[in-house]
Chains A and B, each alone.
Chain A
Amino acid sequence: METMKKMLLDYADAEMRNISAHDTAKVAAMRAEALKRFAESGFPTRKMEHWRNSKIVGNQEYNFSIGKESTCKSCHDFSCVIKDFDTEVIKMKNGVFDEDESLRTLESGVIIGSTMAAMQKYPEIFDKYFGTCKLDEANGFYDINTALWQDGFFIFVPRNVVGKKPIQIIKLIDNKEIPFIQTRNIIILEENSQLTIVDCDDTKCHQASMINSYTEMILGENAHLESYKMQNLNDNTILLNTNTAKQLSNSTLQSCIISFNGGRIRNNIHVDLDGEGSDLQIYGLYLMDKQQHVDNQLKINHNVPNCTSNEKFKGILDNEATAVFNGHVLVAPNAQKTNAYQNNSNIILTDKAKVNTMPFLEIYADDVKCSHGTSTGQLDQEAMFYMRQRGIKKEDARMLLMYAFAAEISNHVNISALRERIDDMIQRRLKGELSSCDTCAFQCGQKEYDFKLDLDKI
């Protein structure tokens, strides 16, 4: 990745003045500091513990190009309609916005749109929150994103405001080059506010790309955020998705990350529970096949007493797919009465698919309830025969078992219209009928087939 590092540093040399033209002083200082660190340390390597099993690093097949595209002219060409699900939509293509729609204030007072535009229009709000989420271990991806970001989505919910409609973020990659896209996103919920977001990553056809996305989520006191993330990318895409969150007292964050497709995906999740009574529920599902790779790295810091966290990640791996799960919960010495659970279970369908899983609790307080568990196995053969003996075809029995396994995660989706959509996508994925291509934002509004089993009532 040395060539890539050089390419990025050269680009920074040439373009930094343009990139940082509208920066606040804080942002400019952060860029300079991050760039310096990146020049010294570069990208992470597999020699580092947290990147040991990663397939993101150490690859150099693509000739990435970087540069800011002109504004997205064709953003209104795509849409993603979910039946009975009314949302406010933010659309980005190749990491940039449609100029006309770059920032808007909704009726409820929620502000949504471009990070770059928000920095210029609301510098005070921006500086108050930007860069306040911590990452225990800064790495080259974080550094280069901080140094060179040029846009991303910005969501601001003022105090006491309840976002009426969920915010739906559609990000599409469609580029003739092989782009290296860096998005910088920030979601701010001030005290007593509430919001739901649905965040989709899609690609068009076989386009290769690398996405290095960094999202901060700041939850004020008693703020409630539900976040649904869907990743459906082609096999040539590398997605590095870093989410950092900071939760103040009595705030709740429910996050659901579903990886349907993607060449190589890494989700770095870092949450600081900084206020008493805060609650984090994080669910993950990955359905990988071929040579796809997914890596979920979680770090949850219980910094204060009386907080709860629950991690549940499940995956089904076919062919030669590989997955990594690393759940790390750290309970600080004063964080008494912590409840923390983590679980990772996997079904492996072939001899060649592989999972590296490591749930990890690091506890320094003495009055806590924590547990972790992991399981990796094949489809239950006893259950398979039981179903077939009742007349259910082998393929249908497999589907029922796999779907039942996956539905434990999708059951946590609170919005029924969205849950139905996700269930439908899971079913199609399991049948091999969902590829990043046919479900990208252009088509996913239509149900294309009639699923034979009635799985609605499971």
Chain B
Amino acid sequence: MLFNIKNLHVSIGGREILKGFNLGVNAGEVHAIMGPNGTGKSTLAATITGREGYEITEGEIWYKGKNIVGLPAEERANMGIFLSFQYPVEIPGVSIQNFMRTALNSKREYQGLPPMSVLEFNKLMKQKQAMVEITEKLQNRYVNVGYSGGEKKKNEIFQMAMLEPQLAILDETDSGLDIDALRIVANGVNQLHNEDNAFIVITHYQRLLDYIVPDFVHVMYDGRIVKSGDKKLALELEDKGYEWVKDLAI
């Protein structure tokens, strides 16, 4: 199994947010995690990616045969875990080109590869930009500065395409997107998806799942998964809303 979370308990500032979360993901699969606000979806994403301030009181996170609890964020990233942020961060003064080049070469260093040549890198950028239909020159743009919501999300998928992760977590990537941007983003994800990688799609709405078709849908409530099923479950949720989920949790 590529990725396996066992009985994960996470607290922030003494308050328990995740309360015994379990999830197994095989390579090649797409998992959707749905649920109402405040059930711990973003906490889950932050914990998997190693953000500081999230205290794991119990449980294990296994990735590629290694318990990654306690590893620094950059090491997890270099092992192939990628998070598409719900709110991508603006970094004034750091160009997207330089940012990506530093990130890519950090990963190559981790893998024991030499840094990529400028020529090769520029070619790769161009190719991956096309995948998410970014036509403008990114060379002189600062990371996310002055981008619209849609552009920021496209930029997240572009970065994902550049870094080619094995496990990608999309945290509410669909929120704030119009239908065109949604199509472009989903299209990018579908092109990247293959037998060797897996996606965890965190979303509020069924809409995104029309474009990125999940193999499994999990419903999360109060810090854990209360129901799992196939893609039909998403439709059911869309129909009934989240109220009935709460009963499952009791």
Contacts and interface: CB of A to CB of B under 8 A. Distances in A.
A and B interact:
yes
Contact of A383 (B50, B78, B91, B97): B91
B77 A400 contact: no
Contacts, number: 87
Contacts of A407: 93
B137 to A, nearest CB: 12
A134 B82 CA distance: 60
B250 interface: no
A455 B93 CA distance: 10
Q: Which of B73, B95, B107 gathers most chain A CB within 10 Å? A: B73
Interface in A389-433: 389-394, 396-397, 400-401, 403-405, 407-408
A388 interface: yes
Given A396-B106, A454-B101, A457-B139, A389 B77 contact: yes
A418 to B, nearest CB: 20
A453 B102 contact: yes
A457 B98 contact: yes
12 contacts: A385-B89, A389-B74, A389-B83, A391-B103, A392-B74, A393-B74, A394-B74, A397-B74, A400-B94, A401-B91, A457-B95, A458-B94
B100 to A, nearest CB: 8
B159 interface: yes
Contact of A391 (B85, B89, B94, B110): B110
A404 B163 contact: no
Interface of B: 49-52, 72-74, 77-78, 82-83, 85, 88-95, 97-104, 106-107, 110, 139, 159, 163
Interface of A: 380, 382-383, 385-394, 396-397, 400-401, 403-405, 407-408, 453-455, 457-458
A401 to B, nearest CB: 7
B92 to A, nearest CB: 7
Contacts of A405: 93
Given A391-B78, A404-B91, A396 B102 contact: yes
Given A392-B74, A394-B74, A457-B98, A386 B103 contact: no
Nearest to B104: A391
Given A388-B73, A389-B73, A458 B89 contact: no
B97 to A, nearest CB: 6
